[in-house]
């Protein structure tokens, strides 16, 4: 039954899902029309609103490109390859390979989403090299599906924003609903949230494994095609070449980087921001490759996979600008959010907040962007209905992560590492969307009824 359903989804996606660039162009057109209809703004004014936001994700685009490049470059160091080979060696069959990569991806994405995206894709490639008969598309999809839990974990931007002291910032982000920091014990470590994560950790690997096609239908890649390009090393002759191959230069940077990281964690705690994750991969990559020229070559090879990020992220920034474009005080995002508020009770509000966030995430696939769009609307509404802000915040967080399973935005780094397109994996990700959606809906239904809430609510 499950295999037939997944095969149907794969065929449907392969037939109708366009290239991710065309996908975001179509989204742009749809949101443009919707924004004009909702705001009453003219064509030229709406174009101006779109154009003013196109470059709003430049810093984030660079961060995401570095997630791909630095993670891939680090993984291609000889010492790291051996470690990954040993982990991949746990899997002896296609079923075991899918289970291993899914479980590790879920755990790593819960710990830190940037780390999980990179590690999952790299481990999947290594398992594809070692395990005969494994479907490569499902393997990479399994690595990506672990991303569904990211916003419920340690690097979730919404629970971390709620936990950060600062009355003025909290009041602004939550539309006046929250003035004091909300502890992660009431968000990340809330019983209903932990239950959802545990069920997904246990169930998702098994579901992904059940989707593995038969030998005749499996998409198997020749392991030789997955080997990274080996740069021929020549003995240094000139002073410049000797300097390029001198590990002392790399060691100086590594020492400075370690000192910075020790001081950072000592003064700010275990706060793994995206910049810190990239910095860690940068220092580890320089250390693992030993010499400066080795690292330069590794980064140059890894950078070839960043085309999708560079091309598409400006369009998503424009879409986000259109979603929040409100020349008359009303935006498309606010209309969507207010609709779900209007049909909610205190019992159904967490569930409807989750579903509305899932819809908005199609057009605003950034956690921080989602919070900026929905926080000022949903948080006061929840408070008025008697729903604790921690529950509303986590509902928005889960909705933001949920529909990433059928939104290519976040899959681009993993696809760049794997050398696949979105249509190769999204059919399998639809099954993850359905499974995780059922799990999370059930948990928020319980939370709405006052079951599995943390102490103090």
Q: What pLDDT, in 10s, does the model give residues 159-178?
A: 888 988 888 889 988 999 99
229 has a pLDDT exceeding 70: no
pLDDT confidence band for 304 (50 / 70 / 90):
confident
pLDDT score recorded for residue 211:
95
pLDDT score recorded for residue 212:
94
Under 8 Å between Cβ of 356 and 340: yes
> How wide is the angle at C-alpha 118 spanned by C-alphas 112 and 123, nearest 5°?
115
pLDDT score recorded for residue 52:
94
Under 8 Å between Cβ of 348 and 66: no
Using a 10 angstrom Cβ sphere, with 0-12 exposed, 13-18 middle and 19 or more buried, the burial of residue 213 is middle
Q: Which residues contact 138 (CB under 8 A, 6 or more apart)?
A: 98, 208, 211, 212, 213, 219, 425, 428
Rounded percentage of the chain residues whose pLDDT exceeds 90: 59
Mean pLDDT for the stretch of residues 216-220 = 84
pTM attached to this predicted model? 0.84
* CA–CA distances in Å: residue 244 to residues 283, 291, 292, 336: 17, 7, 6, 56
pLDDT score recorded for residue 75:
79
pLDDT digits (tens, 9 = 90+) for 189-200: 999 999 999 999
pLDDT score recorded for residue 188:
94
Mean pLDDT for the stretch of residues 252-266 = 96
Q: Which residues contact 98 (CB under 8 A, 6 or more apart)?
A: 134, 138, 139, 142, 205, 208, 209, 211, 212
pLDDT digits (tens, 9 = 90+) for 308-326: 888 888 998 899 899 989 9
Residue found under tokens 């997944």? 6
Phi, psi angles (nearest 5°) of residue 297: -65, -40
pLDDT confidence band for 227 (50 / 70 / 90):
low
Compute the distance between CA of residue 260 and CA of residue 268 in angstroms, rounded to an integer.
Answer: 12
CA end-to-end span of the chain, whole Å? 41
**What integer best gives the mean pLDDT of the chain?**
90
Compute the distance between CA of residue 400 and CA of residue 354 in angstroms, rounded to an integer.
Answer: 8
Domain segments of the chain as ranges: 2-28+47-448
């Amino acid at each position: 039954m499950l295999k037939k359903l997944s095969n149907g989804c794969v065929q449907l996606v392969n037939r109708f899902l366009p290239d991710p660039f065309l996908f975001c162009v179509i989204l742009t057109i749809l949101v443009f029309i919707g924004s004009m209809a909702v705001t009453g703004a003219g064509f030229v004014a709406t174009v101006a609103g779109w154009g003013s936001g196109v470059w709003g994700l430049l810093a984030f685009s660079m961060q995401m490109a570095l997630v791909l490049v630095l993670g891939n470059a680090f993984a291609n160091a000889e010492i790291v390859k051996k470690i990954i080979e040993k982990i991949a060696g746990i899997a002896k069959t296609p079923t075991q390979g899918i289970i291993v990569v899914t479980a590790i991806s879920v755990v790593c994405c819960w710990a830190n989403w940037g780390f999980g995206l990179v590690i999952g894709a790299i481990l999947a490639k290594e398992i594809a090299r070692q395990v005969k008969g494994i479907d490569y598309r499902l393997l990479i999809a399994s690595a990506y599906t672990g991303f569904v839990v990211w916003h419920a974990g340690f690097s979730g931007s919404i629970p971390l924003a709620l936990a950060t002291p600062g009355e003025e910032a909290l009041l602004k982000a939550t539309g006046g609903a929250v003035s004091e920091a909300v502890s992660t014990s009431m968000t990340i470590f809330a019983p209903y949230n932990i239950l959802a994560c545990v069920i997904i950790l246990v169930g998702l690997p098994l579901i992904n494994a059940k989707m593995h096609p038969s030998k005749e239908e499996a998409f198997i890649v020749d392991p030789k095609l997955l080997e990274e390009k080996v740069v021929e090393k020549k003995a240094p002759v000139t002073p410049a070449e000797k300097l390029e191959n001198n590990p002392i230069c790399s060691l100086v940077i590594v020492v400075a980087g370690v000192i910075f990281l020790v001081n950072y964690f000592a003064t700010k705690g275990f706060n793994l921001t995206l910049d810190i994750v990239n910095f860690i991969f940068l220092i580890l990559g320089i250390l693992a490759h030993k010499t400066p020229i080795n690292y330069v070559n590794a980064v140059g090879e890894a950078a070839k996979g960043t085309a999708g990020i560079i091309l598409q992220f400006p369009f998503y920034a424009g879409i986000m600008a259109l979603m929040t474009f409100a020349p008359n005080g009303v935006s498309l995002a606010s209309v969507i959010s207010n609709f779900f508020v209007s049909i909610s009770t205190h019992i159904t509000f967490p569930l409807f907040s989750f579903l509305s966030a899932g819809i908005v995430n199609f057009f605003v696939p950034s956690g921080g962007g989602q919070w900026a769009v929905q926080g000022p609307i949903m948080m006061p509404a929840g408070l008025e209905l008697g729903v604790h802000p921690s529950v509303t915040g986590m509902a928005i967080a889960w909705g933001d992560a949920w529909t990433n399973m059928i939104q290519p935005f976040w899959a681009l780094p993993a696809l760049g590492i794997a050398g696949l397109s979105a249509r190769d994996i999204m059919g399998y990700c639809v099954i993850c969307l359905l499974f995780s959606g059922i799990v999370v809906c059930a948990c928020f239904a319980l939370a709405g009824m006052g079951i599995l809430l943390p102490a103090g609510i």
